């Protein structure tokens, strides 16, 4: 599952604003999106990823995604970066 990819990643960016910035800079290898996040929160990130042809992985839980990143709160999006 995609949580393992986040756990194994050496560098990643957490959160929608930072992810959009990394996508625009061309630094993102893969995008991970939590399916239980509000679509209005993730829509811009997904749109940016599709524009630059970055693969999008889906996970079921913001809480688990945040935990995989080592934070105590949920994460709607995580970008695995170069």
Of all residues in the chain, the percent with pLDDT exceeding 70 is 98
Q: Is the pLDDT of residue 2 over 80?
A: no
Total structural domains within the chain: 1
Nearest to 57 by CA among 19, 10, 21, 26: 19
Quote the domain boundaries for residue 46: 2-81
Q: Is the pLDDT of residue 1 over 80?
A: no
Class of residue 56 by CB neighbours under 10 A (exposed 0-12, middle 13-18, buried 19+):
middle
pLDDT at 44: 95
pLDDT category, 54, cuts 50, 70, 90?
very high
Residue 30: give its domain's CATH number. 3.30.1330.30
Q: What is the mean pLDDT of the chain?
A: 92
DSSP 24: H
Q: Is the pLDDT of residue 71 over 80?
A: yes
């Amino acid at each position: 599952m995609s949580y393992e990819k986040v756990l194994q990643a050496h560098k990643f960016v957490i959160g929608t604003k930072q992810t959009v910035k990394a996508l625009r800079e061309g630094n993102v290898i893969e995008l991970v999106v939590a399916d239980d996040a509000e679509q209005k929160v993730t829509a811009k990130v997904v749109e940016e990823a599709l524009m630059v042809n970055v693969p999008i992985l889906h996970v079921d839980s913001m809480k688990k995604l945040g935990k995989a990143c080592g934070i105590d709160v949920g994460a709607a999006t995580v970008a695995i970066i170069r």
